[in-house]
Amino acid sequence: QIDEEEVVAFSVPSYACLRRTTLDNHNPVLTDALSLLAENAELSDEDGRGVAFRRAAAVLKALPEPVTGVTQLRGLPCLGGHSLRVIRDILENGASSEVEFTKQSERFKALKVLTGIFGVGAKTAERWIRDGIHSLHQLQESGQTLNRAQQAGLEHYDDLKQPVTKAEADAIGEIVEEAVVSVLPGAQITLIGGFRRGKLTGHDVDFLITHPEEGREVGLMPKVVSWLESQGFLLYQKTTRNSYLEAKDGPARPPSNIDRFERCFSIFKLAEAEKRGTMQTENTPEDTCRLAAHSQATDEGPQRTKPAGGRRRWRAVRVDLVVSPISQFAFALLGWTGSKLFERELRRWAGHEKAMSLSSHALYDNNQGRYLRATSEEEIFTHLGLEYIPPSERNA
Ligand code: CTP
Ligand code: MN
Ligand code: MN
Ligand code: MN
């Protein structure tokens, strides 16, 4: 006997770090809509609204079933009037007029295209739009001065728009591993970011590098970058040195979500593995991939890699490298695994519920007036009074 009036009610904790959010999203239409409004708010310098939409989307991502009616949402946290209106519109009319309007708006479309260029943030895009620039073509014609990152971003725009696959991430992982071990034997690399959370694709590939002996990692990044450059693997890189000082950035300063590790934002040149049967040599696809990149060390320029009349056999991929001393490794690992909202919620939980300051470097307990050491993510969760959530369930 089925009760027609029966309503499935969901119960969800309000902090995303108290929830297990897998990639198995049962409400993609609703979460895509809210994420689009979040993105629009972030691109419009309305971060508060952006976070509100992100939190609302994250609550729906944590539900075990598709939502079929707004009554099911009663009592759920983080769903403000605005988000509820959007959800109701979609459930009742199949679409949200606000989302559809935003998607179609010239302003949003221009912001998306321009901030889609690596090195271009919302402020720059805003300025260009005010100058009448709405497209890549208009940007190229405008005579605007582009910095080195933006030039590389524009040059590799189409490649960088293409999602990075796990196979590509693994291929890059092997190259980074070879680079790191060549310049510092014993150094270790860990895949972080979305791929560590089990995502099948990403907008980039993120790696954390450390060495089991404290201090051995100092100065590592420039050496890794030189190695990669000498082998022709880099189309662009910008290295920032470590600027973290416990004394200066510790308890006196609020926890920042911008960390101070030595890091490198780069664009890799990843050669395509040749398709089976089309290879002229004895090389495995991976060797062929390496050789194609190595041949670039002579600096022939990208256009020369196109076989006569054929298409080029490499593509540009965004890669982030971060170096952490082993004493901060667990914090760096936790801070760089994401998702961005999960990280934000961890810091909010630490600050508001535990009077602690969490960063990608350390955890400070304001009650005890001391840093809490940790050598694993599990220990950090324990310090924070949280049940351990594995990376695959941090997809808030
Ligand atoms: N991060 C950070 N500081 C930055 C950039 C990123 O601490 N300047 C952290 C983010 O908080 C996130 C992780 O690094 O936890 C990965 O960021 P990003 O690559 O932007 O996101 P992903 O989750 O990996 O998503 P995608 O697959 O789109 O790359
Ligand atoms: Mn399920
Ligand atoms: Mn990433
Ligand atoms: Mn990244």
- pLDDT tens readout for residues 11-38: 899 999 999 999 999 999 999 999 999 9
If one residue of 160, 206, 317, 331 were mutated to test the ligand 1 pocket, choosing by the most ligand atoms within 8 A of its CB, it would be 206
| Confidence band for 9, pLDDT divided at 50, 70 and 90 | confident
- Model confidence at 274, in pLDDT bands (50, 70, 90)? very low
> Average pLDDT, stretch 263-279?
76
Three-state SS at 93 = helix
Residue nearest to atom 3 of ligand 1 (CA): 258
Residue at token pair 């100092």 = 218
Mean pLDDT of 199-223: 97
Q: Please tell me the distance from the alpha carbon of residue 273 to that of residue 172, in angstroms, as a whole number.
A: 12
**Ligand 1, atom nearest to 199 Cα:** 27
Residue whose token pair is 């321009």: 114
Q: What is the mean pLDDT of residues 71-75?
A: 94
194 CA to middle of ligand 3, Å? 5
Considering every ligand atom shown, identify the ligand nearest to the alpha carbon of residue 337 and give its number.
1
**Which one is catalytic: 159, 204, 249, 259?**
204
256: pLDDT strictly greater than 70: no
| pLDDT at residue 214 tops 90 | yes
Cα Rg, the chain, nearest whole Å? 23
Whether 131 is catalytic is no
Helix axes 97-104, 106-115, angle to 10 degrees: 60
319-353 residue pLDDT tens: 999 999 999 999 999 999 999 999 999 999 999 99
CA of 382 to the centre of ligand 3 (A): 26
Q: What is the mean pLDDT of residues 272-298?
A: 48
**Band of residue 245 on the pLDDT scale cut at 50, 70, 90:** low
Please give the DSSP secondary-structure letter assigned to residue 256. Answer: P
The type of residue at 181 is: V
Specify the pLDDT at position 266: 98
Helix (H/G/I), strand (E/B), else coil: 139 = helix
Average pLDDT over residues 219-226: 97
The DSSP 8-state label assigned to residue 391 in this structure reads G
Instruction: Decide if 89 is catalytic.
Output: no
Q: What percent of the chain has pLDDT over 70?
A: 85
Q: Is 221 exposed, middle or buried (0-12, 13-18, 19+ CB in 10 A)?
A: buried
The bound ligand whose nearest atom lies closest to the alpha carbon of 391 is 1
pLDDT greater than 70 at residue 289: no
Contacts of 125 (CB under 8 A, 6+ apart): 43, 110, 111, 114, 115
| pLDDT given at position 138 | 98
Q: What is the DSSP letter of 396?
A: -
Environment class of 144 (CB within 10 Å of its CB; exposed 0-12, middle 13-18, buried 19+): middle
Q: For this structure, is 320 an active site residue?
A: yes
Mutate which of 201, 262, 339 for ligand 1? The one with the most ligand atoms within 8 Å of its CB, which is 339
Secondary structure of residue 274 in the 3-state scheme: coil
pLDDT at 258: 66
Instruction: Report how far residue 332's alpha carbon sits from residue 75's, in angstroms, rounded to the nearest whole number.
Output: 35
Distances (CA, A) of 360 to 130, 256, 364, 370: 37, 9, 11, 16
Atom of ligand 1 nearest to the CA of 263: 8
pLDDT value of position 306:
60
Nearest CA among 228, 226, 237 for reference residue 294: 228
- Residue 246 clears pLDDT 70, i.e. is over it: no
- Which H or E run contains 164? strand 164-165
Concatenated DSSP letters of 177-233: HHHHHHHSTT-EEEEEHHHHTT-SEESSEEEEEE-SSTTTTTTHHHHHHHHHHHTT-
Could you tell me which residue, 189 or 276, shows the higher pLDDT? 189
Average per-residue pLDDT in the chain?
Answer: 90
Which ligand approaches the C-alpha of residue 198 most closely?
A: 1
CB 274, CB 288: distance < 8 Å: yes
Distance 203 CA to ligand 4 centre (A): 8
Model confidence pLDDT, tens digit, residues 354-390: 999 999 999 999 999 999 999 999 999 999 999 999 9
- Confidence tier at 287 by pLDDT (50, 70, 90): very low
Decide if pLDDT at 253 tops 60. no
Question: Contact at 8 Å (CB) between 329 and 381?
Answer: no
Mutation to probe ligand 1, out of 166, 172, 192, 203 (largest number of atoms < 8 A from CB):
203
Which position has the higher pLDDT, 132 or 257?
132
Q: Distance between the two ends of the chain, CA-based, in angstroms?
A: 37
Pocket of ligand 1 (CB under 6 A): 193-194, 199, 202-204, 206, 259, 335-340, 343, 360
Ligand 2 centroid distance, CA of 65 (Å): 7
**pLDDT classification of 98: cutoffs 50, 70, 90:** very high
Measured CA angle at 301 (ends 112, 297), to 5 deg: 115
Residue with CA at minimum distance from ligand 1 atom 12: 338
Q: Which of 89, 287, 320, 365 is catalytic?
A: 320
Q: Which atom of ligand 1 is nearest to the CA of 164?
A: 27
Q: Where are the alpha helices (DSSP H) in the chain?
A: 28-43, 47-61, 81-93, 97-104, 106-115, 122-130, 136-142, 148-155, 157-161, 166-183, 193-196, 220-230, 246-249, 285-294, 329-337, 340-354, 377-383
Out of 24, 32, 131, 206, pick the active-site residue.
206
**344 with 17: CB under 8 angstroms?**
no
Ligand 1, atom 1, lies closest to the CA of 336
| CA 391 to ligand 4 centroid distance, Å | 16
Residues 6+ apart with CB under 8 A from 30: 57, 60, 67, 87, 90
